[in-house]
Amino acid sequence: MGLVLYWRPGTASMAPHAALAEIGVDYRLELIERDEAQADEKYRALNPLGVVPTLVDSEQGLVLTESAAILLYLGDRYPEAQLAPADRADYYRWLVFLTNTAQTAMLRWFYPERYGSGDEVAAAAARDAGEAFDILDGALAGRTWLAADHRTGADLFLFMLTRWARRLEAPAWDRANLRAHFLATLALPGVRRMQEEQGLDLPDWAV
């Protein structure tokens, strides 16, 4: 099979996984457990950090890491799937905001010990994540999708981060526009397939 995605449930592999399913192309999933990823020399040859996701496109002789980069690549590789809009300025803006600002804040919240004094880092990260989700909620006012008049890779990335933020004191999906976006994205067949293949639970209000 030409496309292989190395993944772990609920991680940054969610958005690329959903993108592959939305495109409708054949792909194979290779589950990489956390300890295995760090110790497996074969996997670290593909991804030196030993994290997920990693996409292998054997037809193109390509190995690609980083969730946002994989989305950008798939948008160019399969233009008919419209993962990237024709006018890409907002798409680039929001995808970079999601990965550089919102995702970074969430990672600091998940792993505060990596960044300094745990409690202080976690509190600052929760504040920064909240500000990022407020901005995203405002950007979705009066519209369904973040970067175009149709779903794009940015929406798949935002769906992933909204789920990540479910355990914040103020969960991202408690904001009205983000909740509507989460439900609209969840209704996409590729996102449903990703949810099922990763075995991810849904909140009661989204079932």
> What does the pLDDT look like over 109-119, one tens digit per residue?
999 988 887 68
Does 120 lie in the same domain as 77?
no
C-alpha separations of 184 from 1, 45, 51, 166 in Å:
31, 38, 29, 17
Residues 6+ apart with CB under 8 A from 157: 15, 67, 68, 71, 95, 98, 99
What residue type is 78 in one-letter code? Y
Does 101 lie in the same domain as 12?
no
Q: Is residue 34 part of a domain?
A: yes
pLDDT tens for 68-110 read 999 999 999 999 999 999 999 999 999 999 999 999 999 999 9
Tokens of 151: 């779903």
Q: Is residue 118 part of a domain?
A: yes
Q: Is residue 205 part of a domain?
A: no
C-alpha 160/C-alpha 155 separation (Å) is 9
Does 128 lie in the same domain as 71?
no
Domain that holds residue 142: 89-188
C-alpha 169/C-alpha 163 separation (Å) is 13
Does 155 lie in the same domain as 110?
yes
Asked if residues 99 and 69 have their Cβ atoms less than 8 Å apart, the reply is: no
Q: Is the pLDDT of residue 124 over 90?
A: yes
% of the chain residues with pLDDT over 90 = 89
Q: Hey, which residues does 4 pair with through a beta bridge?
A: 28, 56
pLDDT tens for 9-66 read 999 999 999 999 999 999 999 999 877 666 788 999 999 999 999 999 999 999 999 9
C-alpha separations of 179 from 56, 111, 112, 163 in Å:
33, 25, 27, 10
C-alpha 97/C-alpha 47 separation (Å) is 24
* DSSP symbols for 75-90: HHH-GGG-SS-SS-HH
Q: Is residue 70 part of a domain?
A: yes
pLDDT tens for 150-165 read 999 999 999 999 999 9
Does 98 lie in the same domain as 8?
no
pLDDT of residue 40: 84
Of the residues 33, 65, 81, which one is the last residue of a structural domain? 81
